[in-house]
Structure formats: structure tokens, C-alpha cells
Structure 1
Amino acid sequence: MTWDIQDLFGRHAREIRNFLRNRGLAEDAAADLTQDSFVRLMTANSTAREHNPRAYLFRISRNLLIDHRRRESSAPFSQVSEAKAQAVADPTPSAETAIYDKQRLALSNAALAELPERTRMAFELYRLEEMTIAEVAEKIGLSTTRTWTLIREAYRHVRMRLKDV
């Protein structure tokens, strides 16, 4: 016997979620277990399926709730404030990351130095000085279309040089 999962979900998902919420689960946990119930229903062995899909779904969700409670009791989750979490995390990059970033920066600078002056200037004004395309175009005396072309060429050149490594 095959069931129309989409139809069953439409008819029973809210009911199962409410069933789980009434047993003390938070909204997000109840939603997760509701979805898990339907996944279990979809993957159930065809011989294990019953003729009453609603009852079968409630049995699956009840069993998932029991499993959830067991997991919670064996490894309780403690709430940690944002300040404590930030205190644990070290914001400084590792030595390897710092060296890698310095190497990439040196390669980027070398790639920019290889560009024609107008292209480099357009890129630096746009990217480093955070000017708009129109402001850059006015400053270097080109149309906005040509200025954007120069900036794109600079991006491509820097990306190509960084990929060579």
C-alpha cells in the first residue's frame, strides 16, 4: 500500500506538531520531529505500514519524542550567553592563516602593479576608495561603461594571478 505523503503532510503535520508541542517541546524541535516523522513514514518498510496512516504517524512521532527525551537526558544542553561564547572564541587568525593572507595580499599588489595606470587607478578608486562607478568615471575622464570595463579587467587580472599560485 502506498500513501500520498504530500496529502498526509497537508492533513496531519499541524496536528502532529501540536501533539509534540503539548508534550513540552519547543516550536523548532516540534517542527523538526514532525518532519522526521514524515521521513520515517516515507522510508518505512512496506510490511510495517498500517492501514491507518494517521495512527502510524502518531506512533512514529511519539517514539521520536521518547528518543529525543532520552538524548536530552543523557547529554543535557546548557544555554550559553553570547558574551560567554564570544569570550571562548579567539578572534585572531592562526599563524598559517596570517601568512597565507599576507602572501595573497602581496600577489594582489603585484598583480595590480602589472595593470595599465588607468585600469589600476579605476580599480583602486572603486574598490579601495569606495567611490561609485560614476564618481570614478568622472575622476578619470571616461564614460561609466568604459570605467566598468576597466574595473572588470582589473578584477579578472587579479583573480587570474591569484589562481596561478
Structure 2
Amino acid sequence: MKAVFLSERPMLLRLLTSRLRDPEAAEDVMQDLWLRLEGAASGPVADPAAYLFRMANNLAFDRRRSEARRNARDGAWLDTQSEASDFPTAEDLLISRERLIALENAVARLPHRTAAIFRAYRFDERSRKDIAADEGISISAVEKHLHRAYRAIHSAAQENGVDIARL
């Protein structure tokens, strides 16, 4: 059987290379085939060349199947890791807290009515019209209070080096 293997080696290697589309993987499978022949106690085979080609084909199929399983497993692992990376890091949390503190300090320094209008609009998500009706002022006055609040927040953010776009 070994003599047939050695004489058919170039053809076996071409078969494996075409099946696996990777010369290095084909060489690995050739090594596996040789080791199986070394370790196997086989009886007489009617057509040793056909037997070797069938073994090589089966080994190539097994290798492709195990690579597909490994790729699927690794892909699932990477997907899990990318989902885990969606959670904020400790650094992200610290930066967010600093931005929140800067925002809270800027709002705290606003006049009471401007701060109340800003909170109602931004945090309570109330419309300008509803705020104007509750405060007894015009919609234009609500907008002026909001502009004053935004200017104060923007100035505070610049003073503290906070990225205003992220607030």
C-alpha cells in the first residue's frame, strides 16, 4: 500500500489541492493519509489506488467540514464578543458622568425660570406651546429662555473642555 501511495503521491496531492484550494492544507492531509496508512492494519485491497484516492477524498471532506464548524464557532464567539463590547467601559462611564456634572452645574447657574423651562423642554419633553401656557408667556419668550440656557451650557462645556456635541 505504501508503494502505491508513493507512486500516486503527485496525483493525490493534486486531488487534495483542488478539493481544499490550499496547498498547505493539502500537504497536511497527505501527512494524515500517510499516518493512517502507517497505523492501519489493513487486509488485501482489490484496487489500492482507488482505495487511496477514496481515503484522500474523505480526509479532505472531513477537513472542510471541521473548518466550517470552526469558522461558525469562531464567528459566533466574535459576535458574542462584539455584543459584549456594546456595553460602556469604565472610562466611558466616567466621561459620561463628567459631562452630566458639567451640564447639571450649567443648568444650576441659570435663572430659576430659564432652568425650569429648559428642564421642562429637554427632560420632560414638553412642547414649547405647553410650557408657554403654563408659564403665562409667549412661545417666543420660551424660545429666548431656551437659547439662553443653550448658550450657558455651551459656554460651560467649553470652559470644562467637554465635547458639546455629546451632551
Please indicate the TM-score interval, normalised by the length of the shorter structure: 0.3 to 0.5
Answer with 1 or 2: which has the greater Rg: 2
Q: Which has the higher helix share?
A: 2
> Structure 2 length as normaliser, TM-score?
0.47
TM-score normalized by the length of structure 1 = 0.47
